[in-house]
């Protein structure tokens, strides 16, 4: 009779919204071993804690976990007492919904450790509810809560706990979940496993990402890292890629840029210069077929200008008239290439927006200088003056 009276007193306090006093009472009540064997006390503890948490009370650092544990204990004892448990489970669902709100608020307020803790508590709650087959007012949690996993991973990254993020992104990727922005998950996993030196997992998620997002050119860049700093291995890998699913703009342009730097940016020409440099224009043509960018056009022009400089040196050193004629013809032919590709770049840039586009400004100046060089070669003083004025106007 005394035990029942204690619970009645606690219910009375709860009925008056005196939740702090009710908490003291229920904690004391359940501290008795005999009382802890009865389901009613645990239900009341879940109810009291739930209402304190709803009020935003910060005096329960483990409040959601404690309330959830109390409700599970209630269900466990209720089953042993062979008595039907509440069918709506309002407290259980309320705890879960409130904890989701808390986690979201913590995340928005940049309390990422707290957000991570709450999101993972929500995961445990949802899994329990799903396993039990519970619903509330016709609502059921999904068996697989993709958005929750995304939230946990985001909180983990911001909390500096990348390994936790990886494990949750794996849950998503292993189920081949797709949608707007989800390609970043597959990229993240492939990149992180690359950095960890875990090639099997890198290849696994790269393969999944390529399968689900075949248009994403990121998958073509990852295998290049296997070459390390060995240029010969790198070029061989590029050759392999452009003959496969990676015959796209990015792969071709990057390959051409790597070859250009290798051939022209060293203090001396490499030993295999004669066999490597002719590949550059062919690869750039493939890149330009895929996407006619300013950068690819300018790189083609730079390539030709470098060869023109070499030819001018050879022309000046030669005393053979036929050779000099051949050099001159080659120089003129290559200048036409400069004109074509620099012109393409120049025409693709909106000169009215250069003040807000630093990259476009640099490319615009480069294109103008190349075109000025071309018209100087043609001895067209008016066009030289025109492009010099364009350069002066933006410098």
> What are the residue ranges spanned by the domains of the chain?
292-395
Rounded to two decimals, the pTM is 0.76
- Pair of tokens at residue 395: 């410098």
- pLDDT (0 to 100) of residue 163: 96
- pLDDT (0 to 100) of residue 84: 59
Residues of the chain with pLDDT below 50 are 1-4
309: CB partners within 8 A, 6+ apart: none
- pLDDT (0 to 100) of residue 58: 59
- pLDDT (0 to 100) of residue 2: 45
- pLDDT (0 to 100) of residue 142: 93
CB contact at 8 A, 237 and 224: yes
CA pair distance 363, 356, nearest whole angstrom: 13
């Amino acid at each position: 009779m005394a035990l029942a009276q204690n619970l009645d007193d606690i219910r009375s306090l709860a009925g008056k919204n005196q939740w702090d006093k009710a908490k003291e009472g229920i904690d004391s009540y359940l501290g008795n071993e005999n009382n802890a064997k009865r389901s009613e006390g645990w239900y009341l503890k879940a109810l009291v804690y739930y209402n304190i948490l709803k009020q935003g009370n910060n005096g329960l650092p483990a409040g959601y976990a404690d309330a959830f544990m109390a409700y599970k204990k209630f269900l466990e004892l209720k089953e042993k007492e062979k008595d039907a448990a509440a069918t709506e489970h309002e407290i259980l669902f309320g705890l879960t919904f409130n904890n989701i709100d808390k986690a979201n608020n913590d995340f928005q307020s940049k309390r990422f450790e707290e957000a991570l803790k709450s999101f993972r508590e929500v995961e445990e709650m949802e899994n329990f509810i799903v396993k039990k087959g519970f619903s509330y007012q016709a609502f059921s949690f999904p068996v697989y809560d993709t958005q929750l996993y995304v939230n946990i991973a985001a909180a983990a990254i911001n909390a500096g706990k990348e390994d936790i993020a990886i494990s949750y992104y794996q849950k998503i990727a292993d189920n081949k979940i797709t949608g707007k922005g989800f390609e970043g998950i597959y990229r993240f996993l492939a990149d992180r496993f690359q950095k960890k030196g875990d090639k099997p997992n890198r290849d696994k998620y790269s393969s999944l990402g390529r399968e689900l997002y075949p248009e994403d050119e990121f998958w073509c860049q990852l295998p290049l890292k296997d070459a390390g700093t060995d240029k010969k291995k790198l070029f061989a890998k590029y050759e392999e890629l452009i003959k496969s699913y990676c015959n796209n703009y990015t792969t071709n342009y990057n390959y051409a840029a790597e070859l250009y730097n290798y051939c022209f940016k060293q203090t001396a020409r490499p030993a295999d210069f004669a066999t490597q440099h002719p590949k550059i224009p062919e690869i750039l043509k493939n890149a330009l077929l895929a996407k006619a960018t300013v950068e690819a056009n300018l790189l083609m022009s730079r390539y030709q200008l470098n060869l023109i400089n070499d030819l001018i040196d050879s022309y000046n050193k030669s005393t053979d008239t036929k050779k000099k004629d051949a050099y001159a013809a080659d120089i003129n032919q290559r200048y036409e290439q400069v004109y074509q590709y620099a012109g393409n770049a120049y025409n693709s840039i909106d000169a009215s927006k250069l003040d807000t586009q630093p990259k476009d400004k640099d490319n615009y100046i480069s294109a103008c200088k190349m075109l000025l060089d071309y018209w100087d070669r043609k001895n067209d003083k008016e066009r030289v003056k025109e492009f010099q004025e364009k350069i002066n106007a933006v410098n």
